[in-house]
Chains A and B, each alone.
Chain A
Amino acid sequence: MDRLPRWADVVLVPLVSLLLAAIISALVILSIGEDPWAALKVMVEGSLMTGLGWGYTLYYTTSFIFTGLAVTLAFHAGLFNIGGEGQVQLGGLGVALACLYIPWPHWSLALVGATLGAAAFGAAWAAIPAWLQAKRGSHIVITTIMFNYIAASLLVYLLVDVLRPQGEQSPATARFPATTVLPRLNEVPGLNLIFTDKVLVNVTFFLALAMAVAVWALLWRTRLGYQIRAFGKSESAARYAGINPTWIIMVAMLMSGALAGMMSVNNTMGEAQKLLANSAAGAGFIGIAVALMGRNHPFGVVLAAFLFGFLFQGGAELGLWTKIPIEMRIVVQGLVILFTGALDMMVRMILIRLFAPFRRVKPGTA
């Protein structure tokens, strides 16, 4: 079979996939009797035209960078971590325990503590499926799905029966102390010139960007990353090279779970200031779409996370200002995953057809 030029593979395939998803989304909007162009304008105005809108968009971007990186890292080890949803919720538990039971003198220390708590709990929740994959050969996709549901049940139990303050109705923890409140970007010197209103995005955004760089450096600049990628490409060859499969599966999944868990710093500590039920709210799954769209490269993940941040905020605006329900954004997510992930080959085949005439002119350059 013919192959595409590398630039087309890296840039064009995701863009065409995105375009196809956009076309189908527009058709969906048309079919429910609304105007796709007007919808797009509402989305752009609500998410990118005001400081407030940017605040929301970047807040969601932050969350999706974490879960996208989580999927990416595991993917390079040949593992499909579909359990981000559960790992985020457990990470939230880590954040809540760190914020509620340790008296932090300053938000910066609280940030470090809560990040460690989130990472530890997220990693711990990924550890069991990882161990079962490494030692018992249990398919990690299925076990992580199961662990999403087990996590949800565990959190409901903890929030209803254990952590809920007396007299409260809704299943949630108590509010975190004031010393754990993270600065929003409008409170950061320098950035307050750009963000004049109170915005949602907080300093966790920089943590997310730092993690993207860290994951990149880990995968392509360290021995551990080299071993993870080699193992992900060929388990048999990894055995020949002396790469310990158990170690790689465990370490990759623990880091993946930790990254997913760290998302909770953004929403639980940075926004809600208490742990709520279903705190992941689908972000774990969106991480899959982000990783696919970002071609499993940390920098691609950042861009894709921003795209989904825009979709998420824009979708909320749709729900507010138009008759299009907020669920439209879930439809778009589904379409993006479908075209970038599952129908990848179809997009490639279309492009190969389109490229074919140019190739015949210069035979032998293939």
Chain B
Amino acid sequence: MDYDTLLQLLASTVRLATPLILACIAGLYSERSGIFDIGLEAKMLVAAMCSGAVAYASGSAWVGLMAGIGGSMVFAAIHGVASITFRGNQLISGVALNFLASGITVLVAQSLFRQGGRTPPLSGDARFNPIDLPGADALQGVPILGPFYHEVVSGHSILVYAAFAVVVLTWWVLSRTRFGLRLRAVGENPAAVDTSGISVTGLRYAAVMITGVLCGLAGAYMATALQAGFGKEMTAGRGYIALAALIFAKWRPVAALWACLLFGFFQALALRPDVVEGVLHFKVPGPFLDALPYILTVLVLAGFVGKAIPPRAGGQPYVKER
């Protein structure tokens, strides 16, 4: 494999990892607050549809983005009502929302555009287009690093850079701020938070809504940057890969970044079977690469690669004890 191919692979990794990173960090907020969310997929899908449709109608990717975030937050709010206010089963709520999103996105797209459940193709300002970072062309001549900067670092849409910024921001919020302290506390022991006079419900809703915002970014990226428009089931299980990455990263933001990049790399490899065969000198079935993130996550869950300990109060509705 030559250097150019490697750079292509890495650039593709960054692009494919971006929705995973956004969704994974989204899930991190919810789960660190003690609300399990297997409905990341649902929120991404809804966001993708909303942003695709509105970006087409308005001609602006930014308006589309806002619509995507809005749609995702509606689903986040339903999950919040079910699992926080009515103390329902968080896993079942997630399953239900995944169904609902899968059906309703096609239903709405079909009734709006009559194109077999797709939104019309986007072009121009209705998409987030690649940005060339300063000096990308000028530095291209620098050996090794120049092309790396030009191919891998530069030339992505604004949402890709936003995803990386979100990781850093999340790390800072969790470890350095009052909100982060309270968020971590409510996922570990909500009673401690409650008796300190802070609203468990308020904190958890805040976390769930942040999850909605970030899933909105992830879904909008899918429809308005990675691809040009919404298509039926376009997220294709990315919500679950993000969930897998979250567990793989043991619910920590920076580790989550690396996990998503790794899983994004597998996705990039699956698109280039020729490269894999060239390097390994035998044929690796494409489906194996698809399954690799899940297999690795199972190994982590099984404790063969470190032990994944979820937030202690995760999945349990908070009920005041007598």
Contacts and interface: CB of A to CB of B under 8 A. Distances in A.
A287 to B, nearest CB: 11
B102 A330 contact: yes
Given A146-B298, A337-B99, A153 B91 contact: no
B243 interface: yes
A161 B87 CA distance: 47
A325 B295 contact: no
B104 interface: yes
Contact of B100 (A143, A150, A285, A331): A331
B297 A288 contact: no
B92 A341 contact: yes
Interface residues of A, number: 48
Contacts of A147: 294, 298
Contact of B298 (A138, A157, A343): A138
Interface string B83-124: 100111111110111111111101110110000010000000
Contacts of B93: 338, 341-342
A348 B100 CA distance: 22
Contact of B95 (A82, A139, A335): A82
A54 B265 CA distance: 49
Contacts of B38: 141, 145
B301 A139 contact: yes
Nearest to B301: A138
A147 B90 CA distance: 20
Interface of B is mostly: helix
A333 B279 CA distance: 46
A356 B247 CA distance: 45
B285 interface: yes
B87 A345 contact: yes
Contacts of A288: 92, 95
* Interface-centre pick from B88, B101, B237 (highest chain A CB count, 10 A): B88
Contacts of B97: 334, 338
A123 interface: no
A154 interface: yes
Contacts of A342: 82-83, 86, 88-90, 92-93, 96
13 contacts: A138-B302, A143-B302, A146-B294, A161-B285, A325-B107, A333-B99, A335-B96, A338-B82, A338-B96, A338-B97, A342-B89, A342-B93, A346-B86
Interface of B: 38, 78, 81-83, 86-93, 95-104, 106-108, 110-111, 117, 237, 240, 243-244, 247, 285-288, 290-291, 294-295, 297-298, 301-303, 310
Given A28-B107, A342-B89, 17 more contacts: A132-B302, A141-B38, A142-B297, A142-B301, A146-B298, A150-B291, A153-B294, A161-B285, A285-B99, A327-B102, A331-B100, A334-B97, A337-B96, A341-B88, A341-B89, A344-B89, A346-B86
